[in-house]
């Protein structure tokens, strides 16, 4: 099950939120959250909840062991941390990368129903044990509280990798505030619209623009822009929905991305699209420039394998790691002294050339696109399929454009304005916009299911 399925958005999520209002205690809210998380993860296969419980118990025991050893025998505690890393890597491989299992395997049948968020599940569990090892937090002695943290379905599909130290107080005491409920529903509506309305259109435009059947100069540019746009809306949409669901469940958390920045060139750009994951990697590599630069490359490869461990991705991940290591070694203070227009254009060019390789199945296709990009071949404005797609989906593209413009930030500033009239109008406008997006998304999703 995913956030964008009709049964989740129209049945499970509303029931989950409504059930929280029957009791104010944190224990009751955690119980409801655990029940709904088990339903979400084990949809269609009850064995998955047992596998999740086993995984949590392993992290629970290892963290307690590290808590007892880290000030007595640091080496033994480090060995336990390494064992936990291997354990969660195995959980990740079995849950999220099981395509190599035999088709008739019962294990594959069981794990094939696990959402893609199993990867975030494994990383979050390791982050908890790592934070215990580094004294960021104490080992949790109540297994029920830890199970609530590890299984919470709002954090499964696109993060954030919520650190236990940050979320622990809210696990023990949280209130259903109207502000959190309202902002959560609005954030969920934005993410739902990005996933349901924008992504399918951007995918079609990408396929059409990058097709070798009718290559054009404008198609090469539009197709690649839509490729990056599709990746952006997919991840950010899931992150928005997860954050919105978390807020509706009473958790005050932020989204797993920040406005795209070139302050530290490629380093800032990469961090902006998966903030919590990159922050965890930064904590693991430390703040010493030389050590940080050395550890950046293996960490970049690990993050790449987290998403898609195939040779093409790993090569691009390696190049990215080398560039990030060079920036870390040079020092971020020096990068900030480079004029911002130069930082922007250099970073944009590097991202376009480097990550565009992910859009093609072969080097020949990528080379052909580069040639088309600089004007080789057909130069007419747009192919007929591209024109048709743009005309038929212009309203969806308009909605997508509005969703990423400063308009939403402007409404946010007005909501916090001291002027009560402006604040009220901004809240009304944001609510109306979220309602429109939600209705359009439900109608589109239902129509696709019927069709």
276-328: pLDDT as tens digits: 878 888 888 777 777 777 888 888 888 787 777 778 888 888 999 899 888 88
Residue 348: inside a domain? yes
Give 98's contacts (C-beta < 8 A, 6+ positions apart): 107, 108, 111, 112
Question: Over the range 389-414, which residues count as b (16 or more CB within 10 Å of their CB) and which as e?
Answer: beeebeebbebbeebbeeeeeebeeb
pLDDT at 216: 78
Three-state SS at 449: helix
3-class DSSP assignment, residue 108:
helix
The counts of H helices and E strands in the chain are 23, 0
Same domain, 126 and 195: no
Mean pLDDT over 416-429 rounds to 65
- Higher pLDDT: 66 or 423? It is 66
| 168 and 187 assigned to the same domain | no
pLDDT at 63 over 90: yes
Q: Are 115 and 235 in the same domain?
A: no
The pLDDT of residue 388 is 81
How many whole angstroms separate alpha carbon 256 and alpha carbon 235?
9
Q: Are residues 15 and 134 in the same domain?
A: yes
Instruction: Identify which has the larger pLDDT, 184 or 422.
Output: 184
68 burial class (0-12, 13-18, 19+ CB within 10 angstroms)? middle
Q: What CA–CA distance (Å, rounded) separates 438 from 135?
A: 43
* Residue 387 pLDDT greater than 60, yes or no: yes
Same domain, 142 and 70: yes
Q: Which residues contact 226 (CB under 8 A, 6 or more apart)?
A: 202, 203, 205, 206, 209
200 & 131 share domain: no
Closest CA to 412 of 432, 433, 400, 426: 426
* pLDDT (tens digit per residue) in 143-169: 888 888 888 888 776 556 788 888 888
* Mean of the per-residue pLDDT values of the chain: 79
Task: Choose the weakest-confidence range: 108-112, 333-337, 447-451.
Answer: 108-112
Q: Is the model more confident about 92 or about 365?
A: 365
> Which among 159, 175, 191 is the end of a domain?
175
Domain tally for the chain?
Answer: 2
Percent of the chain surpassing pLDDT 70: 82
Picking from 47, 20, 41, the residue whose alpha carbon sits closest to that of residue 31 is: 20
pLDDT band at 46; cut points 50, 70, 90: low
State whether 361 and 229 are in the same domain.
Answer: yes
What range does the domain containing 61 cover?
A: 6-175
**390 belongs to a structural domain:** no
Q: Which of 126, 158, 175 delimits the end of a domain?
A: 175
385 is a domain residue: no
pLDDT of amino acid 66: 93
Based on the fold, state whether residues 91 and 220 are members of the same structural domain. Answer: no
pLDDT at 168: 86
- Predicted local distance difference test score (pLDDT) of residue 102: 38
Residue 300 forms part of a structural domain: no
- Between CA 63 and CA 168 the distance in angstroms is 15
Q: Establish if 63 belongs to a structural domain.
A: yes
In a domain? residue 312: no
Query: What's residue 149's pLDDT?
Result: 87
In this structure, of 172-181, 263-272, 279-288, 406-415, the range with the lowest mean pLDDT score is: 406-415
Q: What are the tens digits of pLDDT across the range 215-269?
A: 777 888 888 888 888 888 888 888 888 888 888 888 888 888 887 888 888 888 8
Q: Is 101 a residue whose pLDDT tops 60? A: no
Query: Is the pLDDT confidence value at 2 over 80?
Result: no
Task: Give me the pLDDT at residue 130, please.
Answer: 92
What's the pLDDT at 196? 86
Residue 212, classified by CB atoms within 10 Å of its CB into exposed (0-12), middle (13-18) or buried (19+), is exposed
Residue 37 CA from chain centroid, whole number? 18
Tens digits of residue pLDDT in 336-349: 889 989 999 999 99
Structure tokens at 250: 């009473």
Residue 315 domain-assigned (yes or no): no
156 with 23, same domain: the answer is yes
Peptide bond into 160 cis (omega under 30): yes
pLDDT at 379 over 70: no
Q: Do the Cβ atoms of 247 and 183 come closer than 8 Å?
A: yes
Instruction: Look at residue 98 and give its three-state secondary structure.
Output: coil
pLDDT at 11: 83
Answer yes or no: do 140 and 23 share one domain: yes
Cα–Cα distances in angstroms (integers) from residue 342 to residues 319, 336, 345, in the given order? 21, 11, 5
Classify 349 as helix, strand or coil.
Answer: helix
Cα R_g (the chain), whole angstroms: 23
CA distance 37 to 2: 12
Decide if 412 is inside a domain.
Answer: no
Residue 74 predicted with pLDDT over 80:
yes
Do 247 and 229 lie in one domain? The reply is yes
DSSP letters spanning 380-414: -S--HHHHHHHHHTHHHHHHHHHHTSTHHHHHHHH
* Choice among 39-53, 97-111, 260-274 with the minimum mean pLDDT: 97-111
Instruction: Name which of 43-47, 187-191, 359-363 the model is least confident about.
Output: 43-47
Taking the C-alpha atoms of residue 75 and residue 80, their distance in angstroms, rounded to an integer, is 9
Q: Are residues 68 and 120 in the same domain?
A: yes
Q: Above 70 in pLDDT, residue 436?
A: yes
- Give yes or no for a contact between 245 and 13, defined as CB atoms under 8 angstroms apart: yes
Which of 356, 373, 390 is a domain's end point? 373
């Amino acid at each position: 099950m995913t956030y964008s399925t009709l049964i989740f958005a129209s049945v499970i999520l509303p029931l989950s939120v409504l059930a929280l209002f029957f009791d104010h205690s944190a224990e009751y809210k955690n119980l409801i959250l655990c029940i709904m998380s088990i339903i979400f993860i084990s949809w269609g296969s009850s064995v998955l909840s047992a596998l999740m419980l086993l995984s949590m118990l392993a992290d629970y025991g290892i963290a307690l062991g590290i808590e007892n050893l880290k000030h007595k025998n640091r080496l033994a505690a480090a060995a336990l941390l390494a064992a936990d890393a291997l354990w969660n890597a195995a959980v990740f491989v079995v849950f999220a990368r099981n395509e190599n299992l035999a088709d008739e395997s019962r294990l594959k049948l069981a794990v094939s129903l696990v959402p893609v968020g199993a990867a975030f599940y494994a990383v979050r569990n390791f982050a908890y044990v790592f934070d215990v090892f580094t004294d960021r937090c104490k080992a949790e002695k109540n297994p029920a509280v830890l199970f609530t943290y590890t299984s919470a379905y709002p954090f499964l599909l696109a993060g954030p990798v919520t650190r236990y130290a940050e979320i622990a107080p809210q696990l023990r005491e949280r209130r259903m505030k109207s502000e959190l409920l309202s902002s959560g529903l609005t954030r969920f509506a934005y993410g739902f619209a990005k996933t349901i309305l924008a992504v399918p259109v951007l995918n079609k435009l990408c396929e059409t623009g990058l097709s070798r059947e009718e290559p054009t100069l404008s198609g090469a540019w539009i197709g690649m822009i839509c490729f990056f746009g599709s990746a952006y809306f997919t991840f950010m949409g899931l992150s928005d929905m997860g954050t919105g669901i978390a807020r509706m469940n009473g958790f005050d958390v932020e989204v797993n991305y920040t406005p795209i920045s070139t302050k530290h060139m490629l380093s800032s750009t990469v961090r902006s699209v998966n903030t919590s994951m990159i922050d965890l990697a930064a904590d693991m590599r430390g703040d010493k420039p030389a050590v940080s630069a050395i550890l950046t490359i293996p960490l970049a490869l690990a993050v790449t394998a987290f998403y898609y461990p195939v040779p093409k991705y790993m090569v691009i991940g390696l190049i990215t790691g080398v560039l990030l290591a060079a920036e870390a070694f040079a020092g971020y203070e020096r990068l900030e002294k480079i004029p911002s227009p130069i930082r922007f254009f250099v970073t944009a060019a590097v991202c376009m050339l480097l990550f565009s390789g992910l859009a093609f199945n072969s080097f020949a296709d990528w080379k052909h696109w580069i040639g088309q990009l600089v004007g080789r071949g057909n130069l007419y404005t747009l192919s007929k399929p591209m024109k048709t797609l743009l005309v038929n989906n212009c309203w969806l593209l308009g909605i997508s454009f509005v969703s990423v413009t400063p308009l939403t930030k402007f409404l946010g500033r007005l909501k916090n304005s001291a002027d009560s009239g402006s604040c009220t109008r901004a809240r009304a406008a944001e609510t109306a916009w979220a309602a429109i997006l939600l209705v359009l998304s439900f109608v589109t999703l239902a129509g696709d299911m019927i069709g």
